[in-house]
Amino acid sequence: MTIGGGAPVAVQSMTNTRTDDWRATLRQIRRLERAGCEIVRVAVPDENAAAALSQIRRRTAVPLVADIHFDYRLALAALAAGFDKVRINPGNIGADWKVKEIIRAAADTGKAIRVGVNSGSVEKSVLRKHGRATPEALVESLERCLEPFEQLRFKAIVLSAKTTNGPDAIATSRLIARRFRYPQHLGLTEAGLELDGAVRSAAVLGTLLAEGIGDTIRVSLAADPVREVAVAYELLAALGLRQRGPLVIACPTCGRTQVDVVGLAKKVKASMSSMGPIGPIRVAVMGCVVNGPGEAREADFAICGGKGRGAIYVKGRHVRTVPEDRLVDELAREIASSQKARAKVHKTK
Ligand code: SF4
């Protein structure tokens, strides 16, 4: 897994099981992996959690990050357990020598460190200078945190800064991107419940990603972490940065709609998820001929609804019109046969 240097934006999430219950944590990690999560972060609040890390590490190949606060020994334990990265906030680890212990251990084992600062842990002198935890104050705080890393010439670093509101988060990440050459992790801490969090993350992370800022993202949601991964890919797909599996678009429906667009779109999504891995195709479910044929031309597959029936399009070409209750099955048949044809071409090559 490469972060930064032009690599695709990596999607990460964080487990919310008790880490000392390594079986439950591992189960969640596997669900995350199946959803396409590329980096999984695990909280390590105490020694019991640290003791479970090697059990987890042994049983999964996904890149793992240990989230550490306050106690540098927990970071050392995570690195010794084979975790790929530790996430620390040097501001709460304490003395310089403790941070340096972590850096040396990471250097010795070839691991990475995420240096994360947040608005609650900016040094008092920096706060006095800026009046509050402004984006400039956070970046100055980050600069100070990086001193021991630079003294030890340790470069396997990812940077992050957390603030309490969206505009500050955007301004801070822009400053970081301008000031440092290290890759940057993007995420909003106070994201919220699923819909609220998805919208807030889309606004803040989307703004930055559209400017080319951000090398790895986490969409924080107060929800099942698997949903974080789904939202992250939707966000990246919306910006044309990455797409995992099919992208389903549906018209918002209106007074002209004469088929159950929402029901059809949900069924199309469900039928594709039961087909196994599908490439990054675009599937449109449209309610009528106003926007349907236009959207169908842009999509790989499309349904364009009419009164109790709908037209099926493949690569913009109208292939047939069928009653509403057969639309999903017919579309699924077209998708499955194109996937088979694609697999055959790959095999022949
Ligand atoms: Fe309405 Fe047709 Fe547009 Fe759907 S595609 S929102 S039904 S006009």
Give CA–CA dist 253/143, Å, rounded: 50
- Residue 275's pLDDT band, with cuts at 50, 70 and 90, is confident
Residue ID of nearest Cα to ligand 1 atom 6: 253
The answer on pLDDT for 200 being more than 70 is yes
Cα 66 to averaged position of ligand 1 atoms, centre (Å): 47
- The yes-or-no verdict on residue 191 having pLDDT over 80 is no
Q: Which of 259, 285, 291 to mutate to test the pocket of ligand 1 (most atoms within 8 A of CB)?
A: 291
**Helix/strand/coil for 138:** helix
Ligand 1 centroid vs 253 CA: distance in angstroms?
5
Q: Of 249, 253, 295, which is best to mutate to test ligand 1, by the most ligand atoms within 8 angstroms of its C-beta?
A: 253
* pLDDT (0 to 100) of residue 341: 81
Q: Residues 92-107: what's their mean pLDDT? A: 96
Sheet with 39-43, strands from edge to edge, namely: 157-162, 112-118, 85-88, 64-67, 39-43, 10-14, 216-218, 185-187
At residue 349, the pLDDT reads 60
Question: For residue 252, which atom of ligand 1 is closest to its CA?
Answer: 6
The per-residue pLDDT for range 153-185, each reduced to its tens digit, is 999 999 999 887 899 999 999 999 999 999 999
Give the pLDDT score at 347.
67
Residue 278 has pLDDT above 90, yes or no: no
| Ligand 1 centroid – CA 302 distance (Å) | 14
Q: pTM of the entire structure?
A: 0.91
Sequence-ordered alpha helix ranges (H) in the chain: 22-34, 47-59, 72-80, 90-93, 96-109, 124-130, 135-145, 147-151, 166-179, 194-210, 225-238, 261-273, 292-298, 327-348
pLDDT at 343 over 80: no
**Protein residues whose CB sits closer than 6 Å to any atom of ligand 1:** 251-254, 256-257, 286-288, 290-292
Contact 276, 293 (CB under 8 A): no
pLDDT value at residue 292: 87
Taking only the tens place, the pLDDT of each residue in 227-272 is: 999 999 999 999 999 988 899 999 999 999 989 999 999 999 999 9
* pLDDT above 90 as % of the chain: 85
Q: Which two tokens stand for residue 227?
A: 């949903």
Ligand 1: centre distance to CA 285 (Å): 10
- Secondary structure of residue 213 in the 3-state scheme: coil
In whole numbers, what is the pLDDT of the chain averaged over residues? 94
Q: What digits encode the pLDDT tens for the residues 66-89?
A: 999 999 999 999 999 999 999 999
Residue 296 near residue 302 (C-beta atoms within 8 A) = yes
Over range 54-64, report the average pLDDT.
98
